Chains A and B, each alone.
Chain A
Amino acid sequence: MSRKVLFTLRHAPYGSAIAREALDALLATAVFGQDISVLFMDDGVFQLLPEQAPGGLPQKTLSSSLSALPLYDVEKLYVHAPSLEARGLTRDELALDGLVSLSSEDVATLFSEQDHLLSF
């Protein structure tokens, strides 16, 4: 049985473990063959900045792990456009390819299409 599951990632990396442990949960869900979508929203869009170098903390680089998502067949990748705009970012400068920009209305539609909503 395969379920439509949306991971909504709303937290910035490094300051807390949420982003890292969300990615672990996401990859586990992908390995078990669920129909996954991923939405970066609010401070979650900061996970997508290029040139992250947390070695001095030290922590593992989240953005390089995120770029492995397509290898796990996670290909429905979305970013909330108003969250990017509010932070002075554009989709083209982000570390992940294939991101689809969504308006708030589009996000509401995406929510409505899911079996479960997992929030991190």
Chain B
Amino acid sequence: MSTLHTVNKSPFAQQTLTSCINICRAGDALLLIEDGVYGALPSAPTAQALKALVNDRKVHLFALEPDLQARGLNDRISDWVKVVDYSGFVQLSTEHKTVQSWY
């Protein structure tokens, strides 16, 4: 059964996103929220690992739109990151059996 992972810490400051990346498996979704959305930047130390997660390990990667917008990041994110609003966040939480919050 698949899991929705949320991450709310910047990968420039903390290892939280890396920890999550190591645990994600095929079919899971990873949603970047709050300061976690800095992980959507191509310059993030986790950028290559996230790209591999999407392309090779078949994990779905999302970032929360209001949190991107708040931080001026809408036009700066990697093209392998999909953007969702709160409706999308709710939908992801219903589509996956469990939600793991990484903070």
Say if the two chains contact directly (CB < 8 Å): yes
Residues of A within 8 A of B (CB): 8, 10, 41-42, 82, 104-105, 107-108, 111-117, 119
Closest residue of chain A to B24, judged by CB?
A108
A111 touches B23 (CB 8 A): yes
A116 touches B98 (CB 8 A): yes
Closest residue of chain B to A104, judged by CB?
B22
A42 touches B100 (CB 8 A): no
Chain A residues contacting B22 (CB-CB under 8 Å) are 82, 104
B100 touches A112 (CB 8 A): no
With contacts A41-B19, A104-B23 known, is A117 near B2, CB below 8 A?
no
B101 touches A112 (CB 8 A): no
A117 touches B3 (CB 8 A): yes
Chain A residues contacting B97 (CB-CB under 8 Å) are 115
Residues of B within 8 A of A (CB): 1-3, 15, 19, 22-25, 28, 97-103
B103 touches A111 (CB 8 A): no
With contacts A42-B15, A119-B102 known, is A112 near B23, CB below 8 A?
no
With contacts A108-B24, A108-B25, A119-B103 known, is A114 near B98, CB below 8 A?
yes
**17 additional A-B residue pairs with CB within 8 Å, beyond A111-B3, A112-B1, A117-B3:** A10-B102, A41-B19, A104-B22, A104-B23, A108-B23, A108-B28, A111-B100, A112-B2, A112-B3, A115-B97, A115-B98, A117-B98, A117-B99, A117-B100, A119-B100, A119-B101, A119-B102
Q: Separation in Å of the B74 CB from the closest CB of chain A?
A: 28
Cα A99 to Cα B36 in complex, Å, equals 31
Q: Separation in Å of the A40 CB from the closest CB of chain B?
A: 13
Cα A107 to Cα B28 in complex, Å, equals 13
